[in-house]
């Protein structure tokens, strides 16, 4: 099949001829009529269309209607029971957390497919993942960026054989940088419903050591720990802005008020002096 070029009527002569016939035998016939409803207009078009289809060919036997009955109708099949659903296809690679990223959201797939490229089919409501033509996961589509949609059975902990990556391994790696880094990694893993959902953030933090060195990463994690900012973006921002090289802000000492004080009156004071007001 060779597609027709834009604005080249000769590339689609039969189609253009059909348009010309419709203009002459339908539009021209109805151009002076006034219609007051869509149903009335459709009825008039149907009459003109039937007359055009039954008009005999000049050089061939029969008419358009007879050709349709002889050639097209026997080849026709019933319409599908379900309406056509528009879909887009993407390629996504499964990360160590057994999730694929699609438009900023993370969807789980079986952990046996980690590091495997998958075909992802996107519709308005669903996300389907395929491996070698077989569907391996299906989720409701979500527009929440940075969030996870997880099926527990997909995660490594749901299988008999554990994968090489685990929370203990990530924390042990972080401890080689420093205690603050290990504390931040542990906090990220603990704050997720499934620890695997925090693997990406933890790996991102640990890989910052390549660009900034262990000393700066540890200092940035100390500041993040003080601010309770347990995210990859927070640690990265601290390093980018150089806040890790600034002294940590001192926490203000909160002095508790005494339980009894001459200036603290309470509700009973007003009841006792109510008569004098």
HEC string of 80-147 equals CCCCCCCCEEEEEECCCCCEEEECCEEEECCHHHCCCEEEEEECCCEEEEEECCEEEEEEECCCCCCC
151 lies in a domain? yes
Do 130 and 177 belong to one domain? no
User: Of the candidates 130, 158, 186, which is a domain's last residue?
Assistant: 158
42 lies in a domain? yes
How buried is 173 (Cβ within 10 angstroms: 0-12 exposed, 13-18 middle, 19+ buried)? middle
Q: What percent of the chain has pLDDT over 90?
A: 44
The answer to whether residue 150 scores a pLDDT higher than 90 is no
The answer to whether residue 80 scores a pLDDT higher than 80 is yes
100 lies in a domain? yes
132 lies in a domain? yes
Indicate the pairing of strand 134-140 with strand 126-131: antiparallel
pLDDT confidence band for 271 (50 / 70 / 90): low
Per the structure, the count of domains in the chain is 3
- What are the tens digits of pLDDT across the range 154-175? 876 644 334 456 788 888 888 8
Do 188 and 229 belong to one domain? yes
216 lies in a domain? yes
Do 200 and 130 belong to one domain? no
266 lies in a domain? no
Do 179 and 237 belong to one domain? yes
User: Of the candidates 107, 138, 158, which is a domain's last residue?
Assistant: 158
111 lies in a domain? yes
Q: What percent of the chain has pLDDT over 70?
A: 86
138 lies in a domain? yes
User: Of the candidates 158, 187, 214, which is a domain's last residue?
Assistant: 158
Do 131 and 175 belong to one domain? no
- What are the tens digits of pLDDT across the range 180-213? 999 999 998 888 887 777 888 888 898 898 889 9
Do 173 and 125 belong to one domain? no
Write out the residue range of the structural domain in which residue 31 sits.
19-61
């Amino acid at each position: 099949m060779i597609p027709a070029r834009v604005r080249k009527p000769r590339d689609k002569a039969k189609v253009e001829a059909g348009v010309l016939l419709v203009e002459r035998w339908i539009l021209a016939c109805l151009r002076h009529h006034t219609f007051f409803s869509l149903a009335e207009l459709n009825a008039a078009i149907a009459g003109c269309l039937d007359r055009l289809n039954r008009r005999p060919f000049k050089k061939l036997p029969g008419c358009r209607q007879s050709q349709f009955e002889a050639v097209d109708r026997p080849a026709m099949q019933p319409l599908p029971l379900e309406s056509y659903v528009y879909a887009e296809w993407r390629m996504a690679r499964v990360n160590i957390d057994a999730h694929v990223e699609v438009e900023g959201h993370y969807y789980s797939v079986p952990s046996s497919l980690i590091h495997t490229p998958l075909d992802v089919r996107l519709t308005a409501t669903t996300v389907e993942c395929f491996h070698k033509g077989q569907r391996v996961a299906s989720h409701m589509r979500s527009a929440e960026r940075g969030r996870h949609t997880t099926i527990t059975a997909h995660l490594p902990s749901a299988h008999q054989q554990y994968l090489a990556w685990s929370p203990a391994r990530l924390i042990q790696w972080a401890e080689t940088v420093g205690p603050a880094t290990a504390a931040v990694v542990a906090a990220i893993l603990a704050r997720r419903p499934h620890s695997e959902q925090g693997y990406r953030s933890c790996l991102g933090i640990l890989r910052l050591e390549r660009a900034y060195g262990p000393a700066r990463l540890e200092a940035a994690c100390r500041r993040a720990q003080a601010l309770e900012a347990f995210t990859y973006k927070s640690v990265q921002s601290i390093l980018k802005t150089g806040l890790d090289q600034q002294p940590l802000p001192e926490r203000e000492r909160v002095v508790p008020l005494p339980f009894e004080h001459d200036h603290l009156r309470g509700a009973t004071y007003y009841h006792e002096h109510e008569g004098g007001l």
